[in-house]
Amino acid sequence: MSLRIGETAGRPYRIAETDMTPAQADLVNRIRTGPRKDLPVNMEIWLHSPEFAEVANRFAEYVGHLAPMTRRVKEITILVVAAYWNSAFEWFWHERLGSELGLTSEQLATLKTRQFTRFDNEIEQAAYDLAVGLMEKRNVDDELHRRAVRVLGHQGVSDLVGLIGLYTMVAFSLDFYRVPVPD
């Protein structure tokens, strides 16, 4: 069961820095001195498996920060994933970022309720349509496939699929530990 807005019961997941193994402490230090600066909650969770956390961190750095997509395209995609999995914490965090990037309150509302959302930018619309096709419909018809490849390119499609996969893992991890939305 996903944690819904208003629920506060969380499960322990944090590892005290004094209890970290050298591998865990080293990864935390590299994340804090890297492009993100802060240790995201999902990485705190994944630290329980340092090898997985190491691989997931490199993957997250690429699809989240280095992949050649605009921040808005990334946030639209993440919000589709958060709404699909009803991930309250993920939605809480990324709704604010989407708003800061100019997503309107109407766009955010339709994304949250999983209704069709219109974007004026062709790339944003293609990314949204592809994310919805993969998440909601679990089908990419021939027309959407052609449009996604034409607008996003094969690399863009691959990067977007990776971003969807990453934030699905994040949603699952947050759900497993019932990470509450901050007050």
Same domain, 81 and 135: yes
Convert the pLDDT of each residue in 75-92 to its tens digit: 999 999 999 999 999 999
Please give the structure tokens belonging to residue 172.
């699952």
Same domain, 56 and 75: no
Give the CA radius of gyration of the chain: 17
pLDDT band at 94 (very low <50, low <70, confident <90, very high): very high
Residue 181 is predicted with a pLDDT of 86
User: Could you tell me if residue 11 is inside a domain?
Assistant: no
Q: Judge whether residue 113 has pLDDT over 70.
A: yes
> Percentage of the chain with pLDDT > 90?
73
Same domain, 107 and 48: no
Residue 15 is predicted with a pLDDT of 87
Question: Which of 66, 92, 107 lies at the terminal end of a domain, its last residue?
Answer: 66
**Residue 39: domain span:** 17-66
User: Could you tell me if residue 5 is inside a domain?
Assistant: no
Please give the structure tokens belonging to residue 17.
């820095």
Report phi then psi at 95, rounded to 5. Answer: -60, -45
Among the listed residues 15, 12, 134, 16, the one whose alpha carbon sits nearest the alpha carbon of residue 77: 134
Q: Judge whether residue 1 has pLDDT over 70.
A: no
Same domain, 98 and 76: yes
Residue 69 is predicted with a pLDDT of 95
Residue 3 is predicted with a pLDDT of 44
User: Could you tell me if residue 3 is inside a domain?
Assistant: no
With beta carbons less than 8 A apart as the criterion, state whether 86 and 175 touch.
no
Q: Judge whether residue 140 has pLDDT over 80.
A: yes
Of the segments 7-16, 29-38, 139-148, which one has the largest average pLDDT value? Answer: 139-148
Question: Looking at per-residue confidence, does 2 or 107 come out higher?
Answer: 107
Report phi then psi at 15, rounded to 5. Answer: -105, 120
> Percentage of the chain with pLDDT > 70?
95
Gap between the Cα atoms of 62 and 26, Å rounded: 19
Same domain, 106 and 62: no
Cα 28–Cα 29–Cα 30 angle in degrees, nearest 5: 95
Q: Judge whether residue 166 has pLDDT over 80.
A: yes
User: Could you tell me if residue 169 is inside a domain?
Assistant: yes
